[in-house]
Amino acid sequence: MSASARSRELGARIAFPVGLFVFSRLALWLLARVSLVLETRLYRPPFKYPGLAGLEAFCWWDCGWYVGIAQEGYTRAQATNFFPLLPLLGRLVHELTGLSLPVALVGIAQVAGLLALVVLHQLFRELADEEEARTALLLFTAYPFAFFQSVGYPESLMVLLTALAVALSLRGRHGWAGLTLGVAGLARHLSLLAGFSLLYQQLRARGGGVRALLHRDVLALLLPPLITSLYFVYLWRTFGDPQLWWKVRAQGWGGAWAGLGDWLRGKWAPEVGLYVVVSFIPGVGALLLLRRRQWWVLAAFTLPLMLVLWTVGLVGLGRYSAAVWPAFLPLGAWLARRPALRDPIILGCALFQGMLVYFFVHSYPIN
């Protein structure tokens, strides 16, 4: 195949995810920009907006912690709850471009979000047909809390790097898959649960059994925890306690460890109930991954992840559930066979997302 033919093929392959990214991000930016012009009052203004083209409107709440870490480093124990990859990249972009740190962090989320859609589209096409893959990508992008892929949070990095790790594993590139997942762990530690997918793929490729576990490629599964542990080594050298992030999260973040059981027994803010209800969308998708054998490699990651989120992720369950990307493949496959439902459901999710974006850019406590 000639270079021009390969270029055309690549262009055709990425046209849909790139177009979806451009359309969805423009819609989010316009909504945020217009809403801030029409209604200037903020729920809680920690710093001024709009910054570069209004991008600072997507840097509220935890994004402020990442800004502080990128600016000052880990000078406070409470900051250790936030893993280092995003603030490190934010500082690098800030130094190279002169952009403000909030804009740099949001910009990183955009780049990671674009690459994530490209990787997910290709991965979904390998595990389903084109129409199912496209519908899954549309649903993933329209999911009510998917706007967090555009916020100065590490969610988009987690999606990109875990999806890339799984894709590399499916191609037999186990060393690169382990390395990629290790970097993902430095963005969000829950990324390491994708190691179950990498393990499943290795076992499947070699027919399972004890002998499969003795293969040299299994050593690649040690890379994710080893690379992620670099952060714990840093905490030990800096604060004298490699478990400081765990202790801080348990003691200083209120209901950070709360789960569905706590929600049923206690009184929580109305938005937390919304997180729980909406989280059952990817929860159902996680279960539906068991319907096709070729999807089991994704189920090995998704089912444990949803279980962890429902157990200890109540306060941030909205944005956490938006990062459970494998769950949208079976949901998309189901909708692709029901065109009468597909467009209304995707449009309804997108409109719901727009309402949440309005609240978020006005600094209401949406997580």
Average pLDDT over residues 194-208: 90
For 240-257, what is the mean pLDDT? 78
Phi, psi of 235 (to 5 degrees): -65, -40
Cβ-count burial 93-120 (b if 16+ within 10 Å, e if not): bbeeeebbbbbbbbbbbbebbbbbbbbb
pLDDT of residue 21: 98
In angstroms, the CA 174 to CA 124 distance is 19
Q: How confident is the model at residue 47 (pLDDT cuts 50, 70, 90)?
A: low
Exposure class string for 193-222: b at 16+ Cβ within 10 A, else e: bbbbbbbbbbbbeeeeeeebeeeebbebbe
User: How distant, in Å, are the alpha carbons of 156, 253, 262, 316, 327 from that of 312?
Assistant: 21, 12, 9, 9, 19
Band (pLDDT 50/70/90 cuts) for residue 132 is very high
Kindly state the average pLDDT of the residues 207-217. 73
DSSP states along 334-347: HHHT-HHHHHHHHH
Among 17-26, 132-141, 207-216, name the one with the lowest average pLDDT: 207-216
Residue 138 pLDDT exceeds 80:
yes
H helix or E strand, kind and range, residue 270:
helix 270-288
Compute the distance between CA of residue 187 and CA of residue 85 in angstroms, rounded to an integer. Answer: 5
HSE-up (13 A, CA, CB side) for residue 208: 1
Helices (H), 128-222: 130-142, 155-170, 174-187, 195-205, 210-213
The answer to whether residue 262 scores a pLDDT higher than 80 is yes
Cβ neighbours of 327 (radius 10 Å) = 29
Q: Are 45 and 364 in contact (CB under 8 A)?
A: no
- Least confident range of 67-71, 129-133, 213-217: 213-217
Mean pLDDT taken over the chain: 90
Task: Give how far the C-alpha of residue 288 lies from the chain's centroid of Cα atoms, to the nearest Å.
Answer: 20
Q: What is the pLDDT of residue 205?
A: 84
pLDDT at 254 over 60: no
What does the pLDDT read at residue 124?
A: 98
Alpha-carbon distances, residue 214 vs 119, 197, 202, 219 (angstroms): 30, 18, 11, 9
Confidence of residue 122 (pLDDT cuts 50, 70, 90): very high
Rounded Cα–Cα distance for residues 367 and 317 (Å): 7
Q: What are phi and psi of 31, to 5 degrees?
A: -60, -45
Q: Give percent above pLDDT 90 in the chain.
A: 71
Torsion of the alpha carbons at 54, 55, 56 and 62, rounded to the nearest 10: 150
Pick the more confident residue, 49 or 153. Answer: 153
At 273-292, the pLDDT tens digits run 999 999 999 999 999 999 99
Q: What percent of the chain has pLDDT over 70?
A: 91
Phi, psi torsion values for 241, nearest 5 degrees: -150, 105
Contact between residue 115 and residue 324 where contact means Cβ atoms under 8 Å apart: no
What is the phi/psi pair of residue 228, to 5°?
-65, -35
Extract the tokens encoding 295.
């999807």
**Taking 90 as the threshold, does the pLDDT of residue 152 lie above it?**
yes
From the CB of residue 5, how many other CB atoms can be counted at a distance below 10 Å? 9
Q: How far apart are CA 78 and CA 247, in angstroms?
A: 9
Give the model confidence (pLDDT) of 312-357 as tens digits: 988 899 999 999 999 999 999 999 999 999 999 999 999 999 999 9
What is the four-CA torsion angle of 261, 264, 268, 271, rounded to 10 degrees?
A: 90
* Torsion sign (Cα): 164, 166, 171, 176: positive
- Asked whether residue 45 carries a pLDDT value surpassing 80, the answer given is no
CA distance 139 to 288: 15
**Residue 255 phi, psi dihedral angles, 5° rounding:** -95, 30
CB 157 within 8 A of CB 85: yes
Rg of the chain over Cα atoms, rounded to whole angstroms, equals: 20
Residues 13-29 pLDDT 10s: 899 999 999 999 999 99
